[in-house]
Amino acid sequence: MTPVHCLHADHALVEGVWRTDVRVAVGEDGRILRVDCEVPPQPGDQPLRDRVLLPAPANLHSHAFQRAMAGRTERRHAQRDSFWSWREQMYRFVGRMTPDDLRAVAAFAYMEMLETGFAAVAEFHYLHHAPDGQPYANPASMSAAILAAAGDAGIGLTHLPVLYQRGGLAGEAVEGGQRRFAHTLDDYAALIARLLSQWQHAPADCGLGVAPHSLRAVDAEGLCMAAALLPDAPVHLHIAEQQAEVDAVLAATGQRPLAYLLDRVEVDHRWCLVHATHLDDAELAALARSGATVGLAPITEANLGDGLFPAVEALELGQRWGVGSDSNVRIDLAGELRTLEYGQRLMRQARCVLADAQRSTGRLLFDQACAGGAAALGRRSGAIAVGHWADLLTLDRHAVDLCGVDGDAWLDAWVFAAATPTVAEVWSAGRQMVSAGRHRDRDALTRAYRQTLQRMTRA
Ligand code: ZN
């Protein structure tokens, strides 16, 4: 295959090493064909002058529809507001959302993800049915809206339709807002089969996985069935976001959430355990042995008052993790990394906590986001390397905070200091969607989002 497009950057992070004069050839299929370092540009190359070329990480956890609630749930409704009272507001809000609304909201969120440096997203999708809880005529209408939104924004997608069987650990029926989420096991299997055939027409970098929602919403039979439906595909699960959730699982089953999970289903590299926040030492060690990825959403976890992941202990065990924007209350790749580190600093009263002898804090956080995102999405990405999707971003070396630094310090400046937009260009599977910090369809996607919000908030 002949290269269709070549980029030439002054500086790039190539397979973990800072290199200069880097030429990246991207094939027609959106994958990296060739990487040469310390070479001059050739005629026809796209010059990336005064740029730092990096792999663009994947966002490993998103509920795109929640973008429309961002900043709208900050008024206290109970004496002690919590995740659980937020959840009630979320249920009321989603009662109104149609497939067209979802497409506009998700496309806007995906545009913002690209602008902040994410090239792909794992969409943990549980808003399946019509507002009255009945399936749409096409039961996959909402998944189709997500796929269309990913196409509108040009982001890579791993779509994760969620299995939500019940309202609680005692097998309670779903009620209220939850009725839009629920499936029997047979209906869920039928949905996955339908999506498998639909996905044959999706872009080659759009994948499919499964997502048992949580141990609250899925029983042991559901966990095993969901994991077996697509044997090689990603499996994502909310594991231990809230202390109350841990207490409830313990009371109902006699085991903590991760211990319960590991005893019932084989957890391996396909798995992404989202919000592995409340783990004891034994669970943490078992998790590292399993090969699963931990999905962290530091901004959302801070917004919802979830707690702090034991990141230092996990790092010592070689645990892989990545970051996601989850509730999308604020879509900001650098902000997720900064919030993760700052949580650890505040907890430990120390600085530069998530760094090691070789790498600065910004560098280690970024490397983790690349590796964890790629593993969680089942997407060959996260490095500038032959055969990987051309998921790439550049930092603008003209940004004032990047002045006079180099190497890992570029990442530190971006993560910890840069107030002005620093991400200049972003490609997803070779599609250049962002130039000079701006998505190419920003105006149209923003207009559609604004109209949708106005309609939803009037209703
Ligand atoms: Zn979530």
* pLDDT single digits (tens) 4-59: 899 999 999 999 999 999 999 999 999 999 999 999 999 999 999 999 999 999 99
Separation of CA 28 and ligand 1 centre (Å): 34
pLDDT recorded at residue 302: 93
Number of H helices, E strands in the chain: 14, 17
Whether 356 and 415 share a structural domain? no
Whether residue 451 lies inside any domain: the answer is no
pLDDT recorded at residue 421: 80
Residue count of the chain: 459
Per-residue confidence in pLDDT tens, the chain, 459 aa: 566 899 999 999 999 999 999 999 999 999 999 999 999 999 999 999 999 999 999 999 999 999 998 888 888 877 677 777 767 777 777 778 999 999 999 999 999 999 999 999 999 999 999 999 999 999 999 999 999 999 999 999 999 999 999 999 999 999 888 899 999 999 999 999 999 999 999 999 999 999 999 999 999 999 999 999 999 999 999 999 889 899 999 999 999 999 999 999 999 999 999 999 999 999 999 999 999 999 999 999 999 888 999 999 999 999 999 999 999 999 999 999 999 999 999 999 999 999 999 999 999 999 999 999 999 999 999 999 999 999 999 999 999 999 999 999 999 999 999 877 899 999 999 999 999 999 999 999 999 999 999 888 776
Whether residue 438 lies inside any domain: the answer is yes
Active site residues: 275, 326
Whether 36 and 142 share a structural domain? no
Whether 308 and 205 share a structural domain? yes
Separation of CA 362 and ligand 1 centre (Å): 25
Last residue of a domain, one of 377, 400, 428: 377
Separation of CA 387 and ligand 1 centre (Å): 31
Convert the pLDDT of each residue in 251-310 to its tens digit.
999 999 999 999 999 999 999 999 999 999 999 999 999 999 999 999 999 998 889 999
Six-digit token pair at 121? 């997203």
pLDDT recorded at residue 118: 98
The β-bridge relationship of strands 293-296 and 321-323 is parallel
Q: Which domain holds residue 403?
A: 3-55+383-443
Whether 19 and 90 share a structural domain? no
Token pair 């309609």 is found at 455
* Closest to 64 in 3D by CA, of 325, 370, 253: 325
Whether residue 449 lies inside any domain: the answer is no
Whether 23 and 86 share a structural domain? no
Whether 96 and 211 share a structural domain? yes
Separation of CA 40 and ligand 1 centre (Å): 45
Domain harbouring 422, CATH code: 2.30.40.10
Last residue of a domain, one of 320, 348, 377: 377
Separation of CA 122 and ligand 1 centre (Å): 11
Tell if the pTM clears 0.85, that is, is over it: yes
Separation of CA 63 and ligand 1 centre (Å): 6
Q: Report angle CA 283, 285, 289 to the nearest 5 degrees.
A: 115
pLDDT recorded at residue 3: 67
Whether residue 458 lies inside any domain: the answer is no
* Closest to 297 in 3D by CA, of 287, 307, 283: 307
> b/e per residue, 160-189, with b = 16+ CB within 10 A?
bbbbbbbbebeeeebeebbbbbbbebeebb
DSSP assignment letter at 214: B
Whether residue 452 lies inside any domain: the answer is no
Separation of CA 297 and ligand 1 centre (Å): 8
Domain harbouring 288, CATH code: 3.20.20.140
Q: Is the dihedral of CA 220, 224, 225, 226 positive or negative?
A: positive
Separation of CA 325 and ligand 1 centre (Å): 9
Separation of CA 84 and ligand 1 centre (Å): 13
Whether 19 and 66 share a structural domain? no
Whether 319 and 410 share a structural domain? no
Separation of CA 7 and ligand 1 centre (Å): 36
Distance from C-alpha of 271 to C-alpha of 293, rounded to nearest angstrom: 6
pLDDT recorded at residue 20: 98
Whether 35 and 81 share a structural domain? no
Whether residue 453 lies inside any domain: the answer is no
Distance from C-alpha of 442 to C-alpha of 67, rounded to nearest angstrom: 16
Whether 24 and 73 share a structural domain? no
* Closest to 21 in 3D by CA, of 32, 6, 31: 6
Whether 215 and 280 share a structural domain? yes
Query: Which residues contact residue 138 at a Cβ distance below 8 angstroms, ignoring those fewer than 6 apart?
Result: 144
Separation of CA 114 and ligand 1 centre (Å): 20
Six-digit token pair at 368? 């983790």
Query: Domain tally for the chain?
Result: 2
Separation of CA 331 and ligand 1 centre (Å): 14
Distance from C-alpha of 262 to C-alpha of 227, rounded to nearest angstrom: 13
**Residue 158: left (phi > 0), alpha (psi -120 to 50), or beta?**
beta
Whether residue 364 lies inside any domain: the answer is yes
Separation of CA 2 and ligand 1 centre (Å): 41
Strand ordering across the sheet containing 423-428: 32-36, 17-26, 5-14, 46-55, 392-396, 423-428, 431-435, 438-439
Whether 102 and 159 share a structural domain? yes
Six-digit token pair at 167? 């309202």
Q: Is the dihedral of CA 38, 42, 48, 50 positive or negative?
A: positive
Residues near ligand 1 ion, CB 5 Å cutoff = 326
Last residue of a domain, one of 360, 377, 394: 377
Distance from C-alpha of 373 to C-alpha of 107, rounded to nearest angstrom: 20
Separation of CA 327 and ligand 1 centre (Å): 7
Whether residue 457 lies inside any domain: the answer is no
- What are the distances in angstroms from CA 13 to CA 23, 45, 141? 12, 19, 40
